[in-house]
Every structure is written in structure tokens, then in C-alpha cells.
Amino acid sequence: MINAVLFDWGGTLTSFHDVDLIEAWRVAAEVLAPDRVDEVAQSLFAAESEVWERTRTTMRSGRIDEVLTAASRAVDLPVDETIHQLATSAYFDHWTPTTGARADARRTLTALKERGLLTGLLSNTHWPRDQHEQWLQRDGLIDLLDARVYTSDLEHVKPHAEAFGALLGELRVQPSTAVFVGDRLWDDVFGAQQLGMRTIWVRNDVVPFYDVEPDAVVDELGEVLDVIDGWLVAASAG
């Protein structure tokens, strides 16, 4: 039985983008210290890398505010919430062109809901919920996702069970009746399998390899529907 189909965000509901992280941080650095852009951008990049490294090794989640605070302290800039918000806002504007939903995202989610399935989103992110929800709203996806969980609101990131559990709990769905769709083999596929979920890997040859066997592999998001339909038919026949 399948009750819910749950999605990762970046590289899954959106197309994958290999973004120059330093360039993105330069935009924030222009706001924080226009006369020290290179130095401050490097500091922001280093602080962010440290947060990502921590999430990889401990699965403890991070938040963008801690990146700005750590980076500012490292280069003796004042920690000022108002300026940090302005810098963050410029930084998100820079990222915005990479946040668009895949062309078949709306159609896929709509079709899943037409089949009576619940849908959900679980993103490993150090960005705040509000920002993500603005992008989902812009692309008409927000009402097609019954629950949306961002690890910036949690203690842990995928593949930690807490992250998946938070989404499953909101939807009141048992893992054995849920499918997880994602582009990362460790975070998404391995993580969801640990809880007993079925998995669909949206093939991404840029993400780190991890030796795990997804239940299905697709190249386009729209193909998820064919996989789910096949499983629904098999379930009703069995």
C-alpha cells in the first residue's frame, strides 16, 4: 500500500544547479563590508563549509544566521541582526534564479494528489522556512505539498531518522506506506530506506556516490508518476 509520496527539494523538485558558492557570498559581503568584499566572502564561505561539514559528520542541522555570525566574528565585523538580514536578503536574491521548480513538478504533484495520495517535502537546508515557502508559492507548488519540513527548523538533517520522522509525523503516515523521492544517495535514498520507506532516486551524477539500491531510478521528475502507478497496480493486484 502507498499513502504518501514525499520529495526532496534541491535537485529533485528543482533542477540541479552547480552554483559558485563564493560568488553567492560575495553578494552578502557587499552588504556587510563593501570595502572588504573578498575577505568577508571567503570568511562566509569558510563558515558555511564548516556548517556543512558538521552536518555531514554529525547530522546536526545548521542555520544561515550561525554562518553570518561565525563569519563576522572571524573577521572582526560587528554582529548586527539588521545588517545580517539585509545581507541575507541580497544573498537569496542571488540564489533565486536557481530555485525554480522543474517544468513537470506541478503536473506530477497534481497527478499524485488526483490519485488520493498525500504529498510532502523534506529539505536539508540551512535557509529559513519563509524563504523556501516564497519560492514554492511563486511556482504554484505550495498547495500541492500537504506538509513541508525544513531541517533549519530541526535538530538533525537527512539521513537522520528525526528528519524523516518529522515529515511522516505531520502527515500521520507509516514509513512502510510512504515513498521518498530524492537526488542524493546517502541523504535521501539511504536515509529513507533506514526507516523502511520505498525510494526513487532522481539520477544525479554530481552528488557523492553512496552504495545503496533505490527501488526505482528516474531521470525526469514526471517519470515518478509511472513508477508510482506501477506500484499502485501491483499493490491492488496483490
Binding site for Mg ion (CB under 5 A): 8, 10-11, 183
- Return the H-helix or E-strand segment holding 121: strand 118-123
For the bound state, the minimum distance from the C-beta of residue 16 to Mg ion, rounded and expressed in Å, comes to 7
For the bound state, the minimum distance from the C-beta of residue 202 to Mg ion, rounded and expressed in Å, comes to 8
CB closer to Mg ion out of 8 and 146: 8
- Residue, CB closest to Mg ion: 11
CA angle, 201 then 121 then 185, to 5°: 25
CB closer to Mg ion out of 72 and 193: 193
- Number of residues that this document lists for the chain: 238
Query: By CB neighbour count within 10 A (0-12 exposed, 13-18 middle, 19+ buried), where does 77 fall?
Result: buried
CB closer to Mg ion out of 40 and 51: 51
CB closer to Mg ion out of 173 and 189: 189
Q: What is the C-alpha to C-alpha distance for residues 140 and 201, in angstroms, rounded to an integer?
A: 24
How, if at all, do strands 198-202 and 4-7 pair?
A: unpaired
For the bound state, the minimum distance from the C-beta of residue 23 to Mg ion, rounded and expressed in Å, comes to 20
Q: Looking at the DSSP assignment, which residues form a beta bridge with residue 73?
A: none
For the bound state, the minimum distance from the C-beta of residue 90 to Mg ion, rounded and expressed in Å, comes to 24
Q: What is the C-alpha to C-alpha distance for residues 200 and 228, in angstroms, rounded to an integer?
A: 9
